[in-house]
Amino acid sequence: MISSPFFYLFTLVFIALFFNILEKKSELKLFKYLPPVVLIYALSMLLASFGVFEINSAINNSYSLAKANLLPAMLFLMLLKIDFSHFFRLGKSLLIAYVLTVISLACGFILVSVIFNFNHDMAVAFGALSGSWFGGTANMVAVGSALGVTQEAYGFVLIVDSVNYTFWVMFLLFLVPFAPVFDRFVGAKKRENIRLKIDYESTKKAKKYPLLILFAVVASLLSQEIARHVEMINSTTMTVLIATLFGIFGSFTRLKNCNGSSEIATMSLYMLIALIGSKAVFESFSAVGIYVFAGFMILVIHTIIMVVSAKIFKLDLFSVTVASLANIGGVASAPILAAAYNKSLVSVGVLMAVMGYLIGTFGGLLVGNIMVGLAK
């Protein structure tokens, strides 16, 4: 049994680092179906369930301190790569498709919460999921922390996210050959010629880890300190919002060009997932089926709205599907789908997915609070 807070944190760092390296260095097909965050959560949850981590005040304090400081630092680093100038150069079709994707997903979450008559716990859990489907797993953690999602509920959310995401990626890739048929059906105009050169994380540039970590720590400390003096909303939500604003501000500075921010942010996310899992005790996942089905229904509503919108606005299949996967899948999968249409369009998938990091937090908090308000 681990009773020392040092060994507790060391174990979680090791788990996060192990899966991070395994994903990068190996070619395991496992990661196509089970993202590292799911495996990290599952392993740390199993260790907690088998009593490996002793429940004492020292470990609890270490958990609270690590999570409170890592979350705003991760959000700050994650948002540094946002480029508004490139985003607005995507063209009318892609911008309309992106906005409609966000709106249709929001409608899907709210309608499903009413149809399934969500209670408070399900509402906050799906609020966290909306953060993921607007942006990414980092947004899920941020929104979930702000809404007060239980440690166990994160397990349900991660399973729903993984199962539905896997299905959605395969479905959208399956549709690629049918693009001409869809485009004729909706009367889509010829796609605009998009030329964007986006250097998301170049391996040729030196990694500026010390500088990025310094600014991330400063952003985290300032976010928490300012949040303590604002009584409008709860401290965690305010910390998340302030860290997001710091990240947006940083994207307009030279920090945007510092290589390595996404790597540090990813490792911070993995550590946060390990921390959350270490406080979740496995009891029963018998109710996960209803969560997965509810997630599937959100995708059905999203699909219906997007097809109708494509007909109205004459949007081509590329714009509709890449915008959708940029939100639901993020940076890991949107470029792959874009490349399936044309390799020169990979940067479009990257750019739209990165913008989701911004939309994910604000959109997730808005939709999550609406669902909580409607919960029985």
The structure tokens 């508004």 sit at: 84
Out of 69-83, 183-197, 355-369, which region has the weakest mean confidence (pLDDT)? 183-197
pTM, rounded to two decimals: 0.87
Which of 23-32, 54-63, 273-282, 326-335 has the least mean pLDDT?
Answer: 23-32
- Residue 234 has a pLDDT of 81
Residues near 359 by Cβ (< 8 Å), separated by ≥ 6? 102, 134, 135, 327
Q: Using CA atoms, how far apart are residues 38 and 162, in angstroms rounded to an integer?
A: 8
Q: Tell me how crowded residue 170 is: count the other CB atoms within 10 A of its CB.
A: 11
Mean pLDDT of the 17-25 span: 90
Q: Please list the residues that pair with 207 across neighbouring strands.
A: 259
Nearest-CA neighbor of 364 among 78, 112, 132? Answer: 132
Report the candidate in 357, 353, 309 with the shortest Cα–Cα distance to residue 317.
Answer: 309
**Which CA distances in Å does 119 have to 114, 141, 372?**
10, 20, 8
pLDDT range class, residue 244, cuts 50, 70, 90? very high
Higher pLDDT among residues 89 and 253, named by residue: 253
pLDDT band of 218, cuts 50, 70, 90: very high
> What is the 3-state composition of the chain as percent helix, strand, coil, each rounded to the nearest 5?
75, 0, 25
Which amino acid, 154? Y
| Confidence (pLDDT) at 137 | 87
Lowest mean pLDDT among 64-68, 88-92, 140-144: 88-92
Token couple for 10: 């060391």
Tens of pLDDT along 121-131?
899 999 999 99
More confident residue, 59 or 230: 59
pLDDT bucket at 87, cuts 50 / 70 / 90:
confident
Q: Whose CA is closest to 272, among 59, 12, 2?
A: 12
Among 15-29, 214-228, 270-284, the range with the most confident prediction by mean pLDDT is 214-228
Q: State how far the Cα of 120 lies from the Cα of 376, in Å rounded to an integer.
A: 7
pLDDT of 211 over the 60 cut: yes
